Structures are given as structure tokens and as C-alpha cells.
Structure 1
């Protein structure tokens, strides 16, 4: 599986300097991925939301311990470790209380030591999904409604270009063009977050 793109270094540098603007952008992009990951580990919605806030608080407090170019690995890997450790702590706490401590509680902790053998892959999937949603939300505001509908109904809903063309009263070629245009813009947004230069698309005339 291809890994999610890395976070651009300029954002990480601003995070280490505790920039409020950088933090808002970070939360906007990554909160959904962390929440999805916590749910995937088995936490109920309320617990997953609590764990997500704990992860964000941990990142905010520990970001200074991560260094650009550090040998320990990418920021994505560091964030995964923080999210996993906090989630495991929350799960352990819930199960420990349910088991009322004792030998059963210790058994639960041992079981959690290898929680989610596929956790890293799950985190990547959630991150890719969150990045797509973040980028798509911005691209939608840049294109005409008809362009967005052409993309959404073919690429997201899986409907045929012919069907969508009839519904929108346009040609099949126009549907394919609109779909490709939106996909390219979304890709550029995601690449821009990872530090790859964007192609500089101009916003469409949305009239």
C-alpha cells in the first residue's frame, strides 16, 4: 500500500514554534484522521473523541521533541506512535475499570501491548481519507457546482459518465473533463500539504 504523503516541513517548523495559525491548520487536516483511527481501534464514539483530544493535546505538548530530519523517522510515524499510545491508554483504562483491576486488569494490559497488528496501515488509510476530504472541501469552493457534481457523481458515487451527462444536460466529454479537472486540483492540494509545489490552478469562474 502506498503511504500517505508527508506533512510539509514549513508547517512542522511553525508547529515547533507553537504558531497558532499552524496549529489551526494541523487540527483542521489531522483531527479527522486521528478520530477515525481511534474508532478503528475499537473505541466508541464518545471515547474516540476524548482520545482524539488527548492525542491533539499530546502533540501540542510534545511537538518540540520531534526534530526535522530526525533519525527516528517521519512526522507521520511520530504522530502514529503518539495516537497509538494515547488510544491504548484510553482502551486500557476503560477495560481495566470494567475488569475491576486485579489479575484480569493485568491480562488486559498484556493483550493491549500488541493491539492492532495492522494499526500503522489503518492509520495511513485514515490519514489518506482525511487528506482527501480536506483537499476536496477546498477544491469544491474553487469550481462551479456543475463541475463538482460531475466529479462527485462519477468519481465518488461511481455512476457512468453517460448517466451523469444526461442528468446534468451536458456532453460525456464535458463530464470527463470536469472529473479530471477536480481530481487534478485535489491531488495538487494534497501534494501542496506534503511540500510538493502546486501547479497554480486559477479558480474557475463560478457564475
Structure 2
């Protein structure tokens, strides 16, 4: 499947862009990664929105100082740590009464900051899924519905190609070609987004 680490070119465009197009693309991917992860782990919706906004502000302020070390996942690790720090700050700003009524966000932030925690693995998976969804949305008009459906069924849902071909009324060869064409298009499209 597609390697889903953030590509330097998107980061460069975000750093240097005077227009909002690069930031819109960035937000299209990362707003959902951040907010979705927080809500999936029990952070109340209002708090998740506040933390997400704090993270995006911090990224906006600090992105020029971020130096990619060439390792796959360097940016998403940086973003995950910013999220953990903003989650801690958000929790500390809440009154004690409010804090007692909700989940322990400090513990959640500590686990998110830990590179080897289960929650970090979930963050990584959510990131990869969101980037893939973003790319598939961008490809939607380039392929017939059956072609995308075949790709999703085989690659994402791990269904046997023969079953997919039968269900979609395609030959086995056509299903394999569809899988290959969409994968190649994802790789090409992802070059501007992925490393």
C-alpha cells in the first residue's frame, strides 16, 4: 500500500505559502486526524475542538522551525507531541471541578507523547487512514465507481479478488488492473503529500 508519511513538499508549501491553498490541504488531512483521535479516546467534543484549534495555531506558529530529519514519520511524531502538549495545557486550564467530571486528559496526553504506547500506534493508524481518504477523495473523478470499489475491496477491506470480481461483475483481470491503476495514481498523487 501507499507509504503515508508527510512529504517535505507539503510542509514546504505550508511554510512558504502566502495563499491559503496549502493550509487548506493541510487542514483537510490533519484537522480530522487530531479531532478524530481525541474524540475516539473520550475527550468531550468541545474540548476536542479546543485542543484541535490550539494544535493548529501552534503548528502555524512553529512550522517554520520544524526541521525534517529525513525519517519516515518525523512530521507526524512532531504533530503528535504538539497535540499531547496542547492537551496537557488545555487540561491544566480547566477548573478542578470541571477536571474531576471528565476523563483524565493528562494521562491520555502522557500516553500520546510516549512513542511506544498503544495510543501512539492508534494515532499512526488514524493518520494513515485519513491521508488515504484524502487522496481517494482527490482521485474520485479520475476513475469509474467500479474501479475505486474494486481497489477499496481488495486493498482496504482485504477481500479476495475473485469475490470482488464476481460481486462487481468484472473479470478477475479487470479487478487486478483496477487495483494497480488506483494504486499507481495514489502513489503519483501522494508524491506531493507523502514521502
| 2:13 alignment counterpart | 14
Gapped runs of 5+ residues in structure 2? none
Which gives a bigger RCO, structure 1 or 2 (Cα 8 Å, sep 6+)? 2
| C-alpha contact (below 8 Å) 2:58/2:82 kept by paired residues | yes
Q: Calculate the TM-score normalised by the size of structure 2.
A: 0.74
| 1:200 alignment counterpart | none
Question: Aligned to 1:5, what secondary structure does the other structure show?
Answer: coil
Q: Calculate the TM-score normalised by the size of structure 1.
A: 0.71
| 1:33-75 deviation line (CA, Å, top 9, x unaligned) | 11233234431333223321221122123323334669xx943
Structure label with greater radius of gyration? 1
| 1:169 alignment counterpart | 169
Report how far residue 21 of structure 1 moved. 2.0
| C-alpha contact (below 8 Å) 1:34/1:126 kept by paired residues | no
| 1:50 alignment counterpart | 50
Gapped runs of 5+ residues in structure 1? 101-107, 196-207
Runs of 4+ in 1 over 6 A off after TM superposition: none
Report how far residue 171 of structure 1 moved. 1.0
How many residue pairs are counted as aligned between the two chains? 183
Report how far residue 146 of structure 1 moved. 1.9
| 2:137 alignment counterpart | 137
- Any residues of structure 2 matched to 1:1-207 within 5 Å, and which? 4-8=4-8, 10-17=9-16, 19=18, 20-67=20-67, 74-93=74-93, 96-99=96-99, 111=107, 114-116=110-112, 117=114, 118=117, 119-194=119-194
CA distance in structure 2 between the partners assigned to 1:96 and 1:56 by the alignment = 26
| 1:101-159 deviation line (CA, Å, top 9, x unaligned) | xxxxxxx7875673444244333222111111111111222111221122223333443
